[in-house]
Amino acid sequence: MLRHLIRAKKRMLLKKAIFLGFAVGLPMVALSYGVVHAGMHQKKAQANIVETAKQAGQFNTLLTALKEAGLEETLATKCCFTVFAPTDEAFAKIPKKDLDALLKDKEALKKVLLYHVVEGKVYSKQLKEGDVKTLQGQNAKVTLKGGPKINDANIVKTDIEASNGVIHVIDKVILPPN
């Protein structure tokens, strides 16, 4: 009896949705668990910064560092950030003992990682010569002449879109002054 009522309710909703879809010129309407979705091609929500970095497969050390510093959730759930993301190769340029020590010092690690993050979505076309304020609190220097750089790191790939920000890939870990 209950299943019959649920099916009847779904059929009624589908008929209304189809009628409304044709009435306003929508291409198609589908019914899924009682929720009406308009349009034939629903776009999936983009991955957040952390998921996008995981999918890229070249930021494993960065992801480990974010987790150790307690920043993973912030970059996964809050909006909006620009991350100048060092690749695994960039982290490999740091001597192993220094990198291991940094990964164990949560406060120092947090400062270094936040130095790679700027508030807001800043796309490559919006980058300008000069200082940018990082979430660490100090400025990093962007230069464009001879190819885009942040401090002395080359920006090797730009504008990787995430749902809560944008990632620019860099070839070196940048360190805050002092």
Q: Using one digit for the tens of pLDDT, what is the confidence trace for 3-47?
A: 444 455 555 544 444 333 433 333 333 333 333 333 333 344 489
Average pLDDT rounded to a whole number, residues 163-169:
97
Q: What CATH number belongs to 49-170?
A: 2.30.180.10
- Range(s) within the chain of domains with CATH label 2.30.180.10: 49-170
Task: Answer for the pair 142, 129: CB distance below 8 angstroms, yes or no.
Answer: yes
- Mean pLDDT on 87-106: 96
Identity of the residue numbered 131: D
pTM, rounded to two decimals: 0.74
Residue 69 to residue 128: CA distance in whole angstroms:
29
Task: Tell me the percentage of the chain whose pLDDT exceeds 90.
Answer: 74
Q: Mean per-residue pLDDT for 59-87?
A: 96
Q: What is the mean pLDDT of residues 87-105?
A: 96
Percentage of residues of the chain with pLDDT beyond 70 = 75
What pLDDT, on the 0 to 100 scale, is given for residue 167?
97
Give the pLDDT score at 40. 37
* 3-state helix/strand/coil string of 73-128: HHHHHCCCEEEEEECHHHHHCCCHHHHHHHHHCHHHHHHHHHCCEEECCCCHHHCC
What contacts 3, CB < 8 A, 6 or more positions away? none
pLDDT at residue 12 in the model: 52
Confidence of residue 60 (pLDDT cuts 50, 70, 90): very high
Q: Is the pLDDT of residue 2 over 90?
A: no
